[in-house]
Amino acid sequence: MTTPASSPPAPVRPAEGYAGDVTPQQAWDWVQSGQAVLVDVRTDAEREWVGFVPGAVPLAWKQWPGMALNPAFDAGVQAAAQGRKVLLLCRSGVRSIAAARRATELGLEAYNILEGFEGDADADRHRGKKGGWRFHGLPWQQG
C-alpha cells in the first residue's frame, strides 16, 4: 500500500482533560516523524476482524466480552510512551477520548485521533464510508 503524501499539519483541536484531538493524517505525520506513538485501544477482536495499523501498540482500553476496563492499560500506555506524545485510536473516536484522559492523568501528553479507525456509521449503519483512518487511505492491514 502506498502512503499518502504528507499534508500541512492540521491544528490540534482543544479538548478537556487531555492534550487535544488530531486528524488521522496529523497522527500519521507525528508517528512517521518519531514524535509520537500510536496506541490502538480497540479490543483484540476488533483489530483481528476489522484491521489494524502496522506498528501501532495494541492495548485495549476495555476488554471483550464484558467491556470492563483493562487493568493493564496504565502500565501498558506508560511503557509505550517512552517520552513521546501518545496518540489513542479506537473505532470511532469515543473510547480513545476516555483513554487519552486516563493517559493524561498518568502524566503523559495524550491525544485522541478524530474519527477513529472506522469513522462514523452512515445512514445504513455501515462504517468506513464517513471518515476514519482507513477512509483517509492511511496504512492498515487486515488478518
Q: Grid cell 483512518 — which residue?
A: 133
Residue 73 near residue 99, CB atoms below 8 Å = yes
User: Tell me, what's the pLDDT at 10?
Assistant: 67
The reported pLDDT for the residue numbered 124 is 67
Predicted TM-score (pTM) of this structure: 0.87
Amino acid in the structure at residue 117: F
Q: What stretches in the chain show pLDDT beneath 50?
A: 1-4
- Can you give the pLDDT at residue 131? 76
Locus of grid cell 502500565: 75
